[in-house]
A and B are shown apart, each in its own frame.
Chain A
């Protein structure tokens, strides 16, 4: 299957600072990328959908000014958690699909801890 690389795998930051998470498709062009959030023992919840070169579409209840998503190229999308607070601590996972593809491939996830 196709490979999606997510970096970093874990990060600890102080309250009030910003953190950037990268999601790269290594061997295919990702026309659409998705960002999910997962709390312990919970399902993955979609935060936003981004198409290359377009603004991201955020799910209801997700603050677009807090979770900045950039999808500037067909192989890279970034999620920036701005002014992070302890309640933002979670597991963030990206996924990507290629043009016309139906199968979604996921990154390794990023464990964010805000102290």
Chain B
């Protein structure tokens, strides 16, 4: 059974700092991995999708990497801003059109 872990559960940083959010998974036989952002009481916004054959994806100030063999992914946020404050969820997919297994998320607070 796939398990996804995100540690720490919460993180507080000053504005402008570059930061890394970690995600680990137990079964390396994944199809893809997605990073999401969730604001309080809201749904999920997809940030980056990495296919199992890829090593990283970039979008603006965000960069996500994937190391399947070690069961790890990282989300790098450059020059953090207060507007980046949210919960970031990592999810692993086992196949096309298949369910996602989620971590509990990391709640990020960027202080002005």
Question: Which residues on A are within 8 Å of B, measured CB to CB?
Answer: 1, 6, 31-32, 34, 41-46, 49, 91, 93, 95, 97, 99-109, 111
**Given A1-B46, A6-B43, A93-B44: A102 touches B99 (CB 8 Å cut-off):** no
The residue on A at minimum CB distance from B4 is A43
Contact B46 A103 (CB under 8 A): yes
B46 touches A106 (CB 8 A): yes
Q: B66-98, CB under 8 A of A: which get 1 and which 0?
A: 000000000000000000000001010100110
In the bound complex, do residue B46 and residue A102 qualify as a contact, i.e. CB atoms below 8 Å apart? no
Q: Are B105's CB and A43's CB within 8 A?
A: yes
Taking the closest CB of chain A, its distance from the CB of B31, in whole angstroms, is 7
- The size of the chain B interface, using a CB distance under 8 A, is 26
Q: Which of A44, A95, A99 has the most C-beta atoms of chain B within 10 angstroms of its own C-beta?
A: A44
Asked whether A104 lies within 8 Å of B46 as measured between CB atoms, the reply is yes
Question: Would you give 13 A-B contacts (Cβ < 8 Å), ordered by A?
Answer: A31-B97, A32-B97, A34-B99, A34-B100, A42-B104, A43-B103, A44-B91, A46-B101, A97-B97, A103-B32, A106-B46, A109-B41, A109-B44
**B13 proximal to A (CB < 8 A):** no
Residues A102 and B51 in contact, CB atoms below 8 Å apart: yes
Q: How far is the CA of A31 from the CA of B96 in the complex (A)?
A: 11
User: Quick check: A102 and B96 within 8 Å, CB to CB?
Assistant: yes
Question: In the bound complex, do residue A105 and residue B46 qualify as a contact, i.e. CB atoms below 8 Å apart?
Answer: yes
Q: With A6-B43, A109-B42 as known contacts, state yes or no: A102 contacts B104, CB within 8 Å.
A: no
